[in-house]
């Protein structure tokens, strides 16, 4: 979902490239049907997206590494401490007022949870896009 929203708000035409990867993701898996459905409600088609594992070459090329949960940040920093200055929690980078800085994972939950998480990601993505455009 985050990749879809960030690609909507930070386009290649404006000089941005968004790559999404997971620390425990196997490559080539499509998004959950519920994820595709809720993103279509915002006119974002992610049906062609496929999972990719986190690779150091992605991180080296990145200006910013945004992660959904503190456990992801800890894993990356444990494996690659050289990325400490460019890694940040998604909600923290968005300066979200949420008490819980981890983004919930809706996998296996009812569609209503997917919608709630989508709205959180959407709000944060708008703020992230604004902040990144200011930094550019």
Task: Residue 129: count other Cβ atoms within 10 Å of its Cβ.
Answer: 19
Q: Which among 43, 18, 25 is positioned nearest to 118, based on CA atoms?
A: 43
Does the pTM surpass 0.75? The reply is yes
Q: Domain 2-135 adopts which CATH fold? A: Rossmann fold (3.40.50)
Residue ranges per domain, the chain?
2-135
Report whether 76 contacts 59 (CB < 8 A). yes
43 and 105 Cβ atoms separated by less than 8 Å: no
Q: What is the mean pLDDT of the chain?
A: 93
The enclosing H or E element of 67 equals: strand 65-67
pLDDT one-digit tens code per residue, 118-135: 999 999 999 999 999 988
SS3 89: strand
């Amino acid at each position: 979902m985050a990749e879809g929203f960030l690609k909507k708000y930070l386009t290649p035409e404006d000089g941005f490239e968004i790559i999404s990867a997971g620390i425990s993701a196997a490559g080539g898996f499509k998004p959950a049907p519920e994820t595709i459905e809720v993103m279509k409600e915002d006119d974002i088609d992610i049906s062609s997206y496929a999972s990719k594992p986190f690779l150091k070459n992605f991180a080296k090329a990145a200006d910013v590494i945004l992660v959904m949960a503190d456990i992801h940040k800890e894993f990356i920093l444990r494996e690659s401490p050289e990325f400490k200055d460019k890694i940040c929690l998604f909600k923290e980078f968005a300066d979200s007022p949420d008490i819980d800085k981890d983004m919930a994972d809706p996998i296996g939950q009812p569609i209503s949870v997917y919608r709630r998480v989508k709205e959180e990601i959407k709000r944060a993505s708008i703020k992230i896009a604004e902040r990144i455009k200011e930094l550019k």
